[in-house]
Amino acid sequence: MHDVAVIGGGPVGSHVAAGLAGAGYRVVVLEKKARLDEAVCCTGIVGKECVRALAIDESVIRHWVNGARVLSPSGKRLDLWRPEPQACVLDRAAFNLAMARRAQAQGAEYVLNSRVSRVAVMADRVRIEVGRRGSSSGFLEARVVVVAAGAGSRLVAGLGLGEVGGWARGVQVEVSTVGVEGVEVYLGQGLAPGFFAWLVPTSPQRAFIGLISRRHPAAYLEKLMASLGEQGKITAADAGPHYGVVPLKPMTKTFGDRLIVVGSAAGQVKPITGGGIYYGVLCADAAVLTLSRALEGDNLSARNLAGYQKEWRRKLGNEIRVSYRARRFYERLGDSQIDRIIDIVIANGIDQALLQAEDLSFDWHAEAVLRLLGHRAFTVVAKLVRLPLYLRRRGKMGDSWKYG
């Protein structure tokens, strides 16, 4: 019997596996894909803080970026650039493989082409039903299970811990480009209602274009591609689109008896952008810390694993609360309101003030949101869009909000 079974061999699952295997525990990772380097629906942008924390090798980095150009519905431009690189675009397939290799080097075992259909928590172990293509289902047992199966996993719904608070759909395709040098972000109800679309260069004359939407992502992607084609920015798609789901709010409960859920499967993503790599890794660190203590003391009860949720909420709770409310507010805006806000930000130099604040980071959005709210010019925005009371009262933002 294994000490730990990790369901999901993505970056978060591999990070958990590396930490626990490195601590001397017998760890097996169950991955439904046949290969660890299969393509995923993820742009792969991570901040330099994440790069440092994971010691990401340059070999899996496509290129570094200094910022982005944000375009309003009417085409107004907001250039958000810093002199030094702020983030990088990862080769996600190579990154996934590198993270798995790191875990394997610590002693973790990987079993590919393994789809978990059921997790049964027993008094002294966890029994996992695993199906493999071309063969009948079998069972694997472990002292504890970590579910890191990614966003939208059907397995999570059957664990009795509640559900992620809402979903959106992401779609992305790699295209050939002409004269595109930097990241571009597009706002507006006509392209990505309530969310945003993007053009992210991956290499010379190639880029990802994609968007997030609650509904009809394929139709909006087609419209976006037509628009960029008319502008002469893209010439053709290199392959078909990849689709994925984006959780919008964390699960109410992310632990149980002999059980922890981590990463996108638990909804631990950035509410504004939907990015899940760095937040997932931070939560994976909390899972490793909690499980190491629990395994050593042979006490894997829900009560003893509750420290995992306390720890990741300590790290990310306020960040997610503030960012979630900001994103929900943005969903209420019409195109004319978005344009007006961009005008106010540029006219009052708010963008430059935020760029010059050295303590603001690509990986953390809440402080930027709060500083935007605290700017004197934002009183105009509050009146313009009837800003809700909880967003006006900057000091009390998120105090009474709860998960779930």
- Looking at residue 136, its pLDDT comes to 66
The pLDDT confidence band at residue 289, using thresholds 50, 70 and 90, is very high
Spell out the domain ranges in the chain.
Answer: 2-42+92-165+248-316, 167-246, 321-396
Rounded CA separation 209/194 (Å): 17
- Looking at residue 355, its pLDDT comes to 80
Q: Which residue type is seen at 180?
A: V
Q: What is the mean pLDDT of residues 240-249?
A: 90
- Looking at residue 350, its pLDDT comes to 80
Rounded CA separation 284/279 (Å): 8
Q: What size, in residues, is the chain?
A: 404
Q: How many helices (H) and strands (E) does the chain have?
A: 12, 19
Rounded CA separation 51/376 (Å): 35
Contact 193, 332 (CB under 8 A): no
Q: Which residue type is seen at 4?
A: V
Q: What is the mean pLDDT of the chain?
A: 88
Q: What is the mean pLDDT of residues 49-55?
A: 93
The conformational region for residue 209 under phi > 0 = left, psi -120 to 50 = alpha, else beta, is: beta
Task: Calculate helix-pair angle for 277-297, 11-22, nearest 10 degrees.
Answer: 30
- Looking at residue 390, its pLDDT comes to 46
Rounded CA separation 125/140 (Å): 10
Contact 9, 33 (CB under 8 A): yes
Q: What angle do CA 219, 74, 233 make, to 5 degrees?
A: 60
Q: What is the pLDDT of residues 173-189, one digit of tens each?
A: 999 998 888 899 999 99
- Looking at residue 347, its pLDDT comes to 87
Contact 257, 299 (CB under 8 A): no
Q: What percent of the chain has pLDDT over 70?
A: 90
CATH topology of domain 167-246: D-Amino Acid Oxidase; Chain A, domain 2 (3.30.9)
- Looking at residue 400, its pLDDT comes to 32
- Looking at residue 352, its pLDDT comes to 83
Q: Is the pLDDT of residue 69 over 60?
A: yes
Q: What is the pLDDT of residues 295-305, one digit of tens each?
A: 999 999 999 99
Contact 271, 320 (CB under 8 A): yes
Instruction: Please give the model's pTM, rounded to 2 decimal places.
Output: 0.90
The pLDDT confidence band at residue 345, using thresholds 50, 70 and 90, is confident
Rounded CA separation 42/275 (Å): 8
Fold match between 2-42+92-165+248-316 and 167-246? no
**370 vs 335, which has greater pLDDT?**
335
At residue 199, what are phi and psi to the nearest 5 degrees?
A: -130, 115
- Looking at residue 198, its pLDDT comes to 95
- Residue 321: which residues within 8 A CB-CB, separation 6 or more? 366, 397, 398, 401
The conformational region for residue 216 under phi > 0 = left, psi -120 to 50 = alpha, else beta, is: left
Q: Which residues pair with 245 in a beta bridge?
A: 169
Rounded CA separation 34/31 (Å): 8
- Looking at residue 124, its pLDDT comes to 95
Q: Is the pLDDT of residue 395 over 50?
A: no
The conformational region for residue 61 under phi > 0 = left, psi -120 to 50 = alpha, else beta, is: beta
Distance from the Cα of residue 293 to its chain's centroid: 27
The pLDDT confidence band at residue 383, using thresholds 50, 70 and 90, is low
- Looking at residue 37, its pLDDT comes to 83
CATH hierarchy code of domain 2-42+92-165+248-316? 3.50.50.60
Rounded CA separation 96/225 (Å): 28
Q: Is the pLDDT of residue 387 over 80?
A: no
Using DSSP, state whether 146 is helix, strand or coil: strand
Q: What is the pLDDT of residues 137-170, one digit of tens each?
A: 789 999 999 999 988 788 888 888 888 888 899 9
Q: Which residue type is seen at 351?
A: D
